[in-house]
């Protein structure tokens, strides 16, 4: 890319956007992103982007649909203003749990969101820990899929939590837990569970030995906290000496923070891909910023360097 680098952000996570720009030692591009009096989203760029390599930072967190529309309109505005390339930086990709049909007459929402972003005019996607890696294939444009596991493993080691049992709370997260185990040391355990209904989980059985050991539950996101606390209770029943958790996306919904506070979990390590709720106990939380990871990835994409080299 010969075009100059310009970075804009929507309203979803201004703190993360500012942290990324602090890492890059550059100002955030000026843009008006708000609402008209009738409730419709309003977007107006206040910078010339003609021929530029533009990055738009927008995490699709709550309110999800508002932030999705902001992203789509910002991409369209940049496209119509003749930017050379547009990269959508989506630290948290919403609708990711709806990546397949689980019964008849359901949408594949993650695919539809991908179609909307591509149709709006994005040329590239930069995201962190998609719930299902198959979502990469929903895009007909390049996707740079960053992993937060190395970051989480490094911080747990610094906190003195080493050679722990990495626990996957379900069969689908085994690869993530195994990567964590390789980087942090220790062994692996897997919890088998079923979903009796939406946002509800029921643990069935566990494979692996945690008796007298420190266990770390490794997951991509925390929503209601039900799965996490259920797993922590089971690990304590099996004799775990201490139980921690490490997750990328802190989507704390409802009373998740209160549930975690009352649980046997000692520490919960999460990243800042989404903003934390304004209220709720945080004594057990350790927040790890992905700003340096995203800033480095943005510069590598801009300079056409390898992004995968970040994980070697």
Give the catalytic positions in this structure. 193
Whole-angstrom Cα distance, residue 45 to residue 242?
Answer: 51
Apex CA 292: angle with CA 222 and CA 138, to 5°? Answer: 55
Distance of CA 162 to the CA centre of its chain: 24
CA torsion 193-199-200-205 (nearest 10°) is 10
Q: List strand residue ranges (DSSP E) for 169-262, in order.
A: 187-197, 200-207, 214-222, 242-250
**8-state DSSP, 96:** T
Whole-angstrom Cα distance, residue 198 to residue 211?
Answer: 32
Compute the half-sphere exposure of residue 37: CA atoms within 13 Å on the CB side of its CA: 0
Among the listed residues 220, 211, 144, the one whose alpha carbon sits nearest the alpha carbon of residue 177 = 220
Whole-angstrom Cα distance, residue 145 to residue 134?
Answer: 11
Compute the half-sphere exposure of residue 256: CA atoms within 13 Å on the CB side of its CA: 20
Structure tokens at 244: 């921690």
Distance of CA 254 to the CA centre of its chain: 19
**8-state DSSP, 60:** -
């Amino acid at each position: 890319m010969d075009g100059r680098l310009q970075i804009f952000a929507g309203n979803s996570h201004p703190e993360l956007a500012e942290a990324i720009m602090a890492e890059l030692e550059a100002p955030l591009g000026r843009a008006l992103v708000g609402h008209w009096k009738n409730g419709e989203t309003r977007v107006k760029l206040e910078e010339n982007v003609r021929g530029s390599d533009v990055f738009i930072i927008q995490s699709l967190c709550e309110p999800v649909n508002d932030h999705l529309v902001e992203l789509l309109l910002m991409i369209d505005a940049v496209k119509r203003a003749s930017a050379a390339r547009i990269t959508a930086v989506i630290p948290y990709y919403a609708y990711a749990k709806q990546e397949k049909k689980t019964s008849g007459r359901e949408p594949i929402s993650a695919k539809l969101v991908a179609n909307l972003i591509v149709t709006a005019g994005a040329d590239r996607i930069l995201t962190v820990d998609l719930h299902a890696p198959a979502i990469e294939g929903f895009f007909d444009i390049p996707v740079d899929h960053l992993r937060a596991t190395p970051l989480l493993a490094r911080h747990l080691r610094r906190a003195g939590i080493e050679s722990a049992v990495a626990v996957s709370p379900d069969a689908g997260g085994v690869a993530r837990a195994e990567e964590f185990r390789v980087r942090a040391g220790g062994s692996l355990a897997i919890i088998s569970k079923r979903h009796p209904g939406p946002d509800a989980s029921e643990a069935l059985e566990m494979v692996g030995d945690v008796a007298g050991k420190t266990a770390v539950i490794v997951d991509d996101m925390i929503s209601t906290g039900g799965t996490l606390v259920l797993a922590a209770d089971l690990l304590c029943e099996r004799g775990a000496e201490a139980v921690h958790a490490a997750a990328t996306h802190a989507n704390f919904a409802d009373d998740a923070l209160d549930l975690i506070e009352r649980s046997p979990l000692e520490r919960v390590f999460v990243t800042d891909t989404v903003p934390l709720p304004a209220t709720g106990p945080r004594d057990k939380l350790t927040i790890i910023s992905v700003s340096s990871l995203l800033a480095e990835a943005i510069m590598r994409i801009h300079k056409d360097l390898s992004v995968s080299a970040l994980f070697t």
